[in-house]
Amino acid sequence: MLSNKEVQIGSNMARIFAFAVIPSFLIQAFALDPANPGYDATWGPVISVLNVVTGFALLFVFALTTKLFGDDNNPYVRITGSIAFVTQCIFVQDAFAGPLNENNSDALFTTTEILQTTGTNGPVWALFLGIFTLSVLRSSNVNLLPSWGVGAGYGAAILVMVNGVGGAFGLIPDAANLIVLVLGGVILYPATVWALGVSFQNSGGE
């Protein structure tokens, strides 16, 4: 069970994550020049800040989701939640890699090369994220989630894992991979996180 303060914090962080995903996607979809792939000196720092905001908020959501759903009857949630939390910590630590390298006059590699290197943990992050989400959806406390959140969760978990693993092994064409990424990472997963915020409120607090 969550305390009243934890319910408030978790709900707020779930909303922050969902809202912060929108400008990040809009910038990458419409502000960046597809003819010039790589780090953008204008929008790169903005995306980095948004990545920190979403990453920080997601850590709160992961921690409270693990506490709420990972009771003694659901040890799998508790274990996979801990794995997802640590993986997310590692993932968000590289958020400022782009601006840091861009403002380093003695940088050995280009900023684009640095970002390609730091992004190599993305597929495993996606895999662990999907497994954690599925474990929550199969827990005995799943009734705390709204029905639309359960559907969004299954869709997000499957698509995020497909995008991560399929992209790593080159199993998905670029066009299809973009569709999977947008549907799973920009629409369904933020909806899932929002639903987790609702589940915090449904827990009643104490």
Q: What is the pLDDT of residues 42-62, one digit of tens each?
A: 999 999 999 999 999 999 999
What's the pLDDT band for 121 if we cut at 50, 70, 90?
confident
CB 84 within 8 A of CB 121: no
**pTM of structure:** 0.92
pLDDT of residue 148: 97
Q: Is 200 exposed, middle or buried, given 0-12, 13-18 or 19+ CB atoms closer than 10 A?
A: buried
For residue 4, what pLDDT is reported? 94
Scan for tokens 């409120």, then name that residue: 201
pLDDT digits (tens, 9 = 90+) for 127-174: 999 999 999 999 999 999 999 999 999 999 999 999 999 988 988 887
- Tell how far CA 102 is from the center of its chain: 25
